[in-house]
Amino acid sequence: MFIRKKAYISSGSLSALAWRKFKKDKLGMGSLVFICLVVLIAILGYSITPDATPYANDQCIQLGVQKPGFSIKMLQVAKRQERFHSNILHTIIWGKEKNYTSVPINRYYFKNDSLFYEEYNGHSIASSPVLKINLAEVTYPLSGDSNEIRITNDMISCKDMNGVFHNQSVEELRQIILKERIVKHRYLLGTDRFGRDLLSQLMIGTRVSLSVGLISVIISLVIGILIGSLGGFFRGWVDNIVVWFINVVWSIPTLLLVIAITFALGKGFWQVFVAVGLTMWVEVARVVRGQILSIREKEFVEAGRALGFSNMRLIFHHILPNIMGVVIVISAANFASAILMEAGLSFLGIGVQPPMPSWGSMIKENYGYIILDSAYLAILPGVAIMLIVLAFMLMGNALRDALDVKTSVF
């Protein structure tokens, strides 16, 4: 007795079928989740980094090259300036200037109206000279004039730079300092040679990599689709010029072309976008041209011509939507290539410039520690580059398989 099995073709749009097939690819879905997590970190930015200062550039030379998990007591001394206020949106995008200066200390004690402390000098042994500072100077932003602080009967009176008058007892100021001005700071991934938080540098570095990838891919898509569409659709002398131009640009080594464009436009954050984007359109144009050459003779295109549709409408409304699957796959691969290219340019010193953190510049600054006992300073940003590039490549492969749904049977 034989049981006849029927094959059913799933109903639904091609995009629904593609998404259903994509979800079955564990590597592709895992890569998509990882990319979404990295994007979320980049969007939230300074609001979730341990160091929320602009560019995560809070330097403390005494804390240079500390191991992961290092912790230290920090004395937060009010800066002699007007208080800096920012809303949450400003903090997320640009960071927040600190209203205090962080001083690493070994130990401290109070005596009368002053705080005595030993500043951390890179060693756990308390060998630094004992320094003295008035309690009011720690708590409030004063101008620095010693005559502005008055002490009478264990009461400290002063007027800060914002024009606010303060009159508090010594004991009250001590409690404020203990609760708010002496904090224990932990560096989960340690510090670099400038004493900056390595975790914060890595997290803000995601913004540079993703931004360069996104803007570069958009630039390459606009140029590549436009040039490839013109050559593939009109053929003849237009196609000859397009093919000649593509071959000329294709024959130039990509990295050398990027370096040349970077030197012409100058070094900087936005220049990297343009330089990388102007070199990645060639592959897009070649693929779009080839796809349009095969589609332009289809029946629906001939029907569009018979109905009197314009060439631009045929290209952008009827032909390009049928090849967007291939373009999406190329975009995922180009995104990964753009991240690698930006990291290489930053490593060479012609990409993103300090103090803006970039994974490539972090490797450049710390590659000398690879032969020492702090190799993680260069390895961690390298691993970050490897993971994000691998994620985009795996997602691109999964998209390539998922978008081929016209003949899929479920």
Digit-coded pLDDT (tens) for 323-332: 888 898 899 9
| 237 contact partners, CB below 8 Å, separation of at least 6 | none
Task: Give the number of other CB atoms < 10 A from CB of residue 280.
Answer: 25
Q: Is 334 left (phi over 0), alpha (psi -120 to 50) or beta?
A: alpha
pLDDT at 147: 62
Taking the model in full, what pTM does it have? 0.87
DSSP class per residue in 337-395: HHHHHHHHHHHHTSSSPTTS--HHHHHHHHGGGGGTT-THHHHHHHHHHHHHHHHHHHH
- pLDDT level of residue 408 (50, 70, 90 thresholds): very low
pLDDT at 410: 42
State the average pLDDT over residues 356-378: 91
- Point out which residues pair with 152 in neighbouring strands: 155
Chain position carrying tokens 């009011």 = 136
SS3 of residue 177 by DSSP: helix
Task: Give the number of other CB atoms < 10 A from CB of residue 200.
Answer: 25
pLDDT at 407: 45
- pLDDT level of residue 124 (50, 70, 90 thresholds): low
Alpha helices, DSSP H only, in 170-317?
A: 170-176, 198-234, 236-251, 254-265, 269-277, 281-295, 299-306, 311-313
- The span from the CA of 123 to the CA of 134, in Å, is 26
Which domains are assigned to the chain? 71-187 (no CATH), 198-402 (1.10.3720.10)
pLDDT one-digit tens code per residue, 191-212:
999 999 999 999 999 999 999 8
Q: Is the pLDDT of residue 4 over 80?
A: no
pLDDT one-digit tens code per residue, 305-328:
888 888 888 888 888 888 888 898
pLDDT at 66: 92
Q: Is the pLDDT of residue 348 over 80?
A: yes
**CA dist list (Å): 85 to 54, 82, 232, 389:** 14, 9, 56, 38
